Structure 1
Amino acid sequence: MSVILSYQWGSATPEFRSDAPNIIFFGILVAAIIYFATRFTRGGPFLRQRFCTACGRGIPFDALICPYCGFRFSS
C-alpha cells in the first residue's frame, strides 16, 4: 500500500514522489506498531481465562463446568 501511495500517478510516466521513502517508512512503522500491539495484548478484557482447580487447564472465564475434566464449579 505504501509503495502504491508513493507513486506520482498523474505524471506522463509514473515515477516515485520525492517523499516516497517517508511514505514507505511510515507504512512500515504503522504495521510494526499494530503487530506489537496485538502480540502483547492477547485476549484483552473480553477473552479472560481462568484455570480449572482440578486439572489446571485454561478454561473460559464464565465456564461453570470444565470442558476437559468435567469438574463443576460453584457459582
Structure 2
Amino acid sequence: MRENRLPPVPGSTDCSPARLQQLKLIAAARVSACRSTSRQQITDIVRVTVDNEVDTTTFRAIVDDVAGDALR
C-alpha cells in the first residue's frame, strides 16, 4: 500500500508557519472524518499527523485547537 505522508520538512522540529498551518488543517480534517468523540482519539490522530515534526508545546497547541473545534 502506498504511504500517504507528506515529505519531511528539513530541520524537522523547525516548521515554518505555513507547514504548521498545513499540519493543523490535515489533523482537523482527519479528526472530522473519523468523527472523533474523545480527546484521546484526537490526540492520537494529531500524533500520527505531525509525526515528530513539531515540539511538545506546538503539539499540545494543535491538539487543543483541533479538539476545541471537534468536541463542540
- State TM-score, norm by structure 2: 0.31
- Structure having greater relative contact order (Cα 8 Å, sep ≥ 6): 2
TM-score with structure 1 length normalisation? 0.29
More helix by share: 2
